[in-house]
Amino acid sequence: MIGVFIVDDDFMVAKVHSGFVAALDGFEVVGSASTGGDAIQDIQRLRPDLVLLDVYLPDMTGLDVLRQLRAAGSPSDVIVISAARDVDSIKSALHGGVLHYLVKPFGRRTFEARLRDYAALRGRLQELDEVGQEDVDRLFGGTNATTPAVPVTPKGISPETLELVRGALTDAGAEGLSATECSERTGLARVSARRYLEQLVADQQADVRQRYGTAGRPERRFTLRAGRRPV
């Protein structure tokens, strides 16, 4: 198993990424941190195989974390996952030896593709005792997978949170979820859960129906359409 440590100051983003990692065969989440100081201590203690590192942290930047880990001789590989788009951040990440730099927002398929690329790279290295130039070219020549396009979502709709809500609907099955139940399962505010559920309906990935109880207003329940996957 490839142990993954997640560093992100946004609880919901860290939760989404943890779910993505846990769903991939051969990967497991071994820990997470929301500050740079905690990340450095925990990574040195746990020695994960891979760190998913955000740049914007409350006490220091993720790039500061990267520099301190490298100075301490940490063997963990690093993929930066951040909304930071400035060239200086990307240069600093490259100088720190990161394997990849994912710019938020991105879709689940892009995230999974990068982790599978990483697993494939580890597998190739483990198979080799000695390398020739052809082997080196394959290892350093970039990824083999084609990066899927980032899904286009309306302003204010996060692709990662949309996937979190979609996952909750998948788990609910034919019974579906109300906005309140979705809020409880995902940790989103009820109004946010309803907005994302309605977005899935607008995208024709989900259906909504009224369920009438014995008293009071009818309840709106959302169910995932069978066989529908995000484009």
> Token match 């609907």: residue?
169
CB 86 within 8 A of CB 55: no
Domain ranges for the chain:
2-140, 159-224
pLDDT in tens, 82-133: 888 888 888 888 888 898 898 887 888 889 989 998 998 888 777 766 666 6
C-alpha to C-alpha distance for 92 and 25, rounded to whole angstroms: 31
52 by DSSP, 3-state: which? strand
CATH level 2 (architecture), domain 2-140? 3-Layer(aba) Sandwich (3.40)
Residues 6+ apart with CB under 8 A from 112: 20, 24
pLDDT in tens, 28-54: 999 999 999 999 999 999 999 999 999
Domain 159-224 has what CATH class? mainly alpha
Supply the pTM of this predicted model. 0.62
**Fold: same for 2-140 and 159-224:** no
C-alpha to C-alpha distance for 143 and 121, rounded to whole angstroms: 9
- Taking residue 154's Cβ as centre, other Cβ atoms within 10 Å add up to 10
- Residue 113 to residues 126, 144, 159, 185: CA-CA distances in angstroms? 20, 10, 16, 27
